[in-house]
Amino acid sequence: MKRAIRDKAVPIWSHWVMLIITAVLFVLVAIFVDLKPVVDENFFFSTSDPGIRQTKKIERRFPSQPEVILAVSSRDISSQRYLSRIQKLTQRAHTIDGVNAVKSLTEGPKSFEDALKSPFWSRLLIAPDRKASNVIIFMEGKQTEKPIQRLQQIVHEMDARDFHIHTAGPPYVVEMLRRSLDHDFRYFTLTAIVLFGLTMAALFRSVRLFVGMLCTCTSAVLLTLLVQSLLGHKIGILTVNLGTIVFIVALSHLIYMTFNWQMLANRAHRLGKESPNLAQDAMRMTFPVDGLRVVRLC
């Protein structure tokens, strides 16, 4: 009786339509949506901030390049061994695509003694305690992902116990934040799908129901990403977990609606009646309550 009610209420071709819709949305997102998180100059401060406006005005008058600073510490920064390794680090930094200029103890001042005597070079390159010196790398453009990756590889290869390299600078910080957001976007979404997918499978014990709910929730996520891209918005700090949130919210609605559908089907079975509109009845029971819950959350 219950199977007859279900088969009469849901056309058999509707399952394939849902799978096709999900596949089409997946292809559209893969083609048109950039899933790489974006961290730009507006990440830390608002564009309406007076200080940021003044900084932008100064940058337009006196253009500058983004720089990465490598602070290289050692017991004796005046030793020939240290200076030769600084020179090697400077030369390898020059080989990175996107690097415009490099300044260090071996490129800029005439010698280490000249750097000590010069007020400019000593403040720019030498730490106050003389236990470290700076290698300043100037970069071109805003696309610093690949240069930072190459620089990290060089730092990893040259870092040693008496030649310890610390990395700083806006391009480096932005790249680390972008990687963190990318990690959260991928793993949080995957974790949500796996955990809640297993919950659905254990709760309803139906392969067709599991696949249908998974396709519906995935379609909601893909459609959200597609609309967000069409509106010109990039994935950032506030939207990196939007897909996970949409997946969970859509899943909660489906769980309530499926429970109501099963309850109506059992009631019809007990009364010996057939109702071809179980899905519509379940939606009428679920949506008003879920709508109020969403409004309260917002």
**Has residue 90 been placed in a domain?**
yes
Give yes or no for residue 274 having a pLDDT over 70. Answer: no
Residue type, 161: R
User: pLDDT by residue (tens digit) across 81-120?
Assistant: 999 999 999 999 999 998 989 999 999 899 999 999 999 9
pLDDT at residue 8 in the model: 47
pLDDT of residue 1: 43
Amino acid making up residue 272 = G
Indicate if 125 and 225 belong to the same structural domain: no
- If asked whether residues 25 and 71 sit together in one domain, one would say no
Q: Is residue 51 part of a domain?
A: no
In angstroms, the CA 151 to CA 281 distance is: 61
Q: In percent, how much of the chain has pLDDT > 90?
A: 27
189 and 269 in a single domain? The answer is yes
What is the pLDDT of the chain when averaged over all its residues?
80
Query: Which residue segment(s) compose the domain that 79 sits in?
Result: 67-168
Among 127, 142, 168, the domain-final residue is 168
Query: Per residue in 144-172, pLDDT tens?
Result: 888 999 999 999 999 988 899 999 988 88
| DSSP characters over the chain | -HHHHHHHHS-TTHHHHHHHHHHHHHHHHHHH---S----TTTTS-TT-HHHHHHHHHHHHS----EEEEEEE-S-TTSHHHHHHHHHHHHHHHTSTTEEEEEBTTBSSSSHHHHHH-HHHHHHHB-TTSSEEEEEEEE-SS--HHHHHHHHHHHHHH-BTTBEEEEESHHHHHHHHHHHHHHHHHHHHHHHHHHHHHHHHHHH--HHHHHHHHHHHHHHHHHHHHHHHHTTPPP-TTTTTHHHHHHHHHHHHHHHHHHHHHHHHHHHHHHT---TTHHHHHHHHHHHHHHHHHHHH-
Q: For the chain, what is the domain count?
A: 2
Q: What is the dihedral angle through the alpha carbons of 83, 89, 91, 97, rounded to the nearest 10 degrees?
A: -160
Do 77 and 32 belong to one domain?
Answer: no
Q: Is residue 73 part of a domain?
A: yes
Q: Specify the range with the lowest mean pLDDT, choosing from 107-116, 135-144, 278-287.
A: 278-287
Does residue 160 sit within a domain? yes
Question: Residue 33's closest CA among 173, 190, 138, 185?
Answer: 185
In a domain, 262, yes or no: yes
Task: Identify whether 46 is part of a domain.
Answer: no
Return the top range by mean pLDDT from 59-63, 140-144, 158-162, 263-267: 158-162
Last residue of a domain, one of 139, 168, 197: 168
Give the CATH number for residue 161.
3.30.70.1320
How confident is the model over 190-202, as pLDDT tens digits? 887 788 778 777 7
Token digits of residue 65: 């390049």
Tokens found for residue 222:
């893909």
